[in-house]
Structure 1
């Protein structure tokens, strides 16, 4: 009896264990079922020939296939034809090595006949209870939205967001490929790089606002794109600069045809919301292989050609040549020398007297910078001032000129000479410097010069080229400094703006003075300026007075003040001090 009870206990325990194991298996299977039915991955078991043994419910949810008919389909026939060779190759290798295939990106057809991007991995199952052959486990993931996002990021990385043109990086990649292909194939085919700059675009931004400016840039991009062939490439470098690659050019005449076509297209007004905007462009051109055999050389030389166009009238084009090459080299050498010169203080200031032209009484002087190079000698301002402007070196150079001029004026005052107003030219780049006002304040404090003896001279173009120029000048005037408009009459279309600006003096440009004694138009211009100045309570001074005839004619018109070689050339500090001494003894 005892043995029977022991046996029954054993059987009961065994049955309980089996039930527990069965229950565990059922729970495990239920978990697998839940995972398979709810996963967003596409999971399938296929035969080596591509027939389906199993497909997860996601095939229905994502690919719209009826699971009851999936067994009639073939996995490999669902793959995009262009991807089939790659997949077959990968599977052959993986079946042979029995290793999991790395993730590969392919396109697979859904039940609507459209192909979607998926990422797939393959594994061999060599033992199964329902197939005599090896099975392949295929796990796929829908990546079409990821691909769309990647494409968007790529587009943003390589395209200009405003015009949708390729950006500089994208353009350079394509240019590099074209150069390498030509070198590799040793082809005689020519190609040209066009650097395009919109003329006076800043005035559109300033006058009409950046929203209009953006629309003008979009239209400019369209004009350039429509002017070239579909096989060519246009990109936006930045701002109002564009760059074009003409990939196959027969000869120079063929090149000129395309360049002139672009220039002609820009001669027509750009219409935006019923308003016409006149816009021209300047183009610099470099051709492979004559003007460069690397992308860097082509870009640099096209840019150098453009620089020359902008300096000689705009609305034109120039093909890179040896003259530009030599000037470019000289310019780069000069820029390096200029940087060194600022550091080593190789500059000095000369002073040109300003006088009452009737009484010959000295009323002030203009400070003019000179560069004494240790090897090249004196370099004229025309050679380096524009370069300093372009490179931004005018900011430190201008600060030195201002400090030196104030220091010298204070020294003359301390030596007992009469107090005179010293005029210092200030460039657009200096006015754009956010620290300029503070710099002026510091210099006045360092030199202990009373602000009433300092005059800042600016060209009238600053009111077109500098945002809030009037407010910047008003801050300068609040310091007690006088403001003078240099080269007046050459850079602005309207005179009515003067009554709104914080200025004290107008300097009539020398171009109107040189022929005032024989040109009625010059006489009329000077007379108009004097009338306007009198109405507004402004002083007027004429620059470039070189003859007695100039003086006589200006006296007739009632002009009081002037400067020029007729009275004195610019003098160094020692010579100007001797000039002051003569004034004292006169």
Structure 2
């Protein structure tokens, strides 16, 4: 007999089970004899819909026949079975349970009923599926990425290696998985990478991005860029690991090398260009401080070359320039330097000069050889040179002064009848009366507000959308009339008057943008040119901040354009440009391709936009070299997240070629000349009316 206490305990146990577990009782054939409330709640069936029905009513069709056979084989022999089921509710949706099925045996040892006790594990299974899918997604990304993806320990041992290592380096995957990252790095870079990785671990939170070389199974070196990030181990050790993403940058390096060559050499003659020559000249002057010998800078111009161009055509003229370049180079000693400035101008640096007579002997020999005929095809050509000479240190203490004074001497040689040479004479300075008069007039112009601004539109050349404008300063003298910017801007730079003038331009531009916004015109950013002299001003950033505050312009509506010459001092340039960007102002490099810069370090500088110089744009439709330069610039700029805008777009052919090469932005006379305030307002009104239609 069961005591009342035992009976109460049984009821309590049943109650507890009913509250916490899904319970069902079936006969040996699987027909349902009992279900509790939780069973009905999770399946959506009422008890009367389940009693007497076979358990197959809940079958979702997921599990195989073999799965059920194993289960029945276990419980049919009197053993408890434990496992998981995906069942189907009355509404057709699925749920998961963990089931324990207990067989009850009669006196013959045969099951007469089964009691199943189940717990709902649907949430756990859904989470498990999400994790599985997530892991599968990242596995697919890692195994199909062209980048090399791995996880390493601090000593370089691999924890995970993606299959892309094999395709790039040629090693088999098992060999790599048991290997070490440092075994794959070029010997000269191993210590460098180890030092960087150690530093990354020591700082714990720092991300690391570096360039080095890997060595494939054949010993070939491959340029790569690697990103390292610290992560916690996914096992129980909780130690720090590094995820490593390595990218093959050989194509980018090749482009950089091509751009570097194009940036420092003349595409026609192959000679160094002004940029490279001036860099070498500065080095020579530094070395010259420890020598008693002198340097002679020769500025060479081909007499009447324009006539040759007009009469024979550009192709013949170019061939002639190539031949002249070859002759000039052949006339030099190995240590001397030569460059093509552009057009028909060349510069030569004679080193280790002991006397003026030595220079004259070289020049007389050069002019004599210049008279020798140059045969191109069936035609014979004769050329003459005019040469200006400046000697270091008498005629200049730096490269810029030497070049300027050699140019002044060249003008003197031209005045003396061409086909000859002239040395720089300090008295040449006394002939710059126009320059001094213009300087005085400019001082008055700043005081009397004779300057004004015009604005040239910038457009998306593919869609025709107006995206901004460039502010351009103009000078209208009350007596002389309009004075070209090419005449007064260099003078302002030289005299330092560019600082107050530039400050006025910046403030005037900001005030105009704010006025247009208040008048309801679209929000369009304005670009303002800033000179190196302004950037050298210790108060420049303070002045910019003051203008922002006074005009209340949104800094995002302002872009400052600097020329490539700012990168003559890269370290200081990066610092000042970063201060500008910290104010929320965009930074662009103007006239790109004519100055000092190289994309090999531009990618590390805080800039937003490159403006390709119009000298490359003007003949892009007929000149392969110009097209190659622009294509290379756009390709590399896109890879490092820098915008590109083309200057000097003057014809439909320019637009077509630029769009084909992937350039999206442009400005130039094809779209509009620089416009007065009133004309620009009309341009905006007309532009947006057309767009609305």
Correspondent of 1:37 among 133, 138, 143: 143
Match of 1:307 in 2: 411
How far apart are the structure 2 equivalents of 1:251 and 1:89? 53
Residue 130 of structure 2 corresponds to: 24
Structure 2 distance, partners of 1:179, 1:169, is: 16
1:271 corresponds to which residue? Answer: 375
Q: Deviations over 1:80-110 (max 9, x none)?
A: 3443343232222222221334322222223
1:120 aligns to 2:226 (yes or no): yes
SS of the equivalent of 2:152 reads strand
Matched, 1:332 2:435: no
Offset from partner CA, 1:187-236 (integer Å, 9 cap, x none): 43422211011122222212211110111112212222232244433222
* Structure 1 spans left out of the alignment, 5+ residues: 342-390, 392-586
Instruction: Name the structure 2 match of 1:67.
Output: 173
Equivalents in 2 of 1:145, 1:138: separation in Å?
A: 21
Aligned residue for 2:418, secondary structure, equals coil
2:332 to 224, 228, 232: 228
After TM superposition, give the deviation of residue 299 of structure 1 in Å: 1.0
Determine the structure 1 residue equivalent to 2:559. Answer: none
CA contact (8 A) 2:295 2:391 kept: yes
SS at match of 2:432: helix
Which runs of structure 2 are paired with 1:89-238 in the superposition (5 Å)? 89-129=195-235, 134-183=240-289, 186-238=290-342
The DSSP-based 3-state class of the residue aligned with 1:103 is: strand
Asked if 1:294 is matched to 2:394, the reply is no
Which residue is equivalent to 1:347?
A: none
Choose the corresponding residue for 2:193, options 87, 99, 102. 87
Give yes or no for contact 1:43–1:138 (8 Å, CA) kept in 2.
Answer: yes
Closer/same/farther in 2, CA of residues 162 and 23 from structure 1, 3 Å limit: same
* 1:57 and 2:158 matched: no
Q: Structure 2: how far apart are the matches of 1:338 and 1:37? A: 69
Q: CA deviation at 1:36?
A: 0.6
CA distance in 2, matches of 1:71, 1:255: 68
Distance in 2, Cα, partners of 1:281 & 1:296: 22
- Cα deviation for residue 62 of structure 1 reads 3.5
Instruction: Tell me the number of residue pairs that the alignment of Structure 1 and Structure 2 aligns.
Output: 336
CA distance 1:235–1:42, change in 2 (3 Å): same
Note the alpha carbon deviations across 1:33-69, whole angstroms, 9 max, x for none.
Answer: 1111122322112233333232212223334443232
Verify: 1:317 aligned to 2:421, yes or no. Answer: yes
Question: Residue by residue, what CA displacement relative to the aligned partner does 1:427-473 show, whole Å, maximum 9, x if unpaired?
Answer: xxxxxxxxxxxxxxxxxxxxxxxxxxxxxxxxxxxxxxxxxxxxxxx
* Residue equivalent to 2:350: 246
Instruction: Give the Å deviation of 1:77.
Output: 3.8
Offset, 1:119:
1.8
Q: Find the counterpart in structure 2 of residue 498 from structure 1.
A: none
Q: Which has the higher contact order (CA 8 A, sep 6+)?
A: 1
Q: Structure 1 CA distance, aligned partners of 2:235 and 2:397?
A: 67
Partner SS for 1:191 = strand
How big is the shift at 1:138? 1.6
Q: Is the 8 A contact 1:228 1:258 kept in 2?
A: no
Cα distance in 1 between the residues matched to 2:163 and 2:286: 51
| Cα distance in 2 between the residues matched to 1:16 and 1:81 | 54
User: Once the two structures are superposed, what CA deviation does each residue of 1:358-409 show, in whole Å capped at 9, x if it has no partner?
Assistant: xxxxxxxxxxxxxxxxxxxxxxxxxxxxxxxxx9xxxxxxxxxxxxxxxxxx
SS at match of 1:179: helix
Deviates more, 1:294-303 or 1:143-152: 143-152
Alpha-carbon distance, 1:7 to partner: 5.0
Distance 2:387 2:218 in 1: 52
User: Does structure 2 conserve the Cα–Cα contact (< 8 Å) formed by 1:283 and 1:318?
Assistant: yes
Counterpart in the other structure of 1:540: none
CA separation of 1:216/1:54 partners in 2, compared to 1, >3 Å: closer, same or farther? same
Give the aligned CA root-mean-square deviation in angstroms.
3.2
Task: Tell me, in whole angstroms, the C-alpha distance in 2 between the residues paired with 1:67 and 1:255.
Answer: 67
Counterpart for residue 397 of structure 1: none
Look up the match of 2:444: none
TM-score, with length taken from structure 1: 0.51
Matched-pair contact (CA < 8 Å) for 2:266–2:273: yes
Q: Take 1:68 and 1:316, find their aligned partners in 2: how far apart are those partners?
A: 75
Q: Residue 154 of structure 2 aligns with which residue? A: 48
Contact 1:117/1:144 (8 A) holds in 2: yes
Contact 1:100 1:121 in 2 (8 A): no
- State how far apart, in whole Å, the 2-side matches of 1:179 and 1:301 are: 16
Aligned-partner Cα distance in 1 for 2:418–2:381? 17
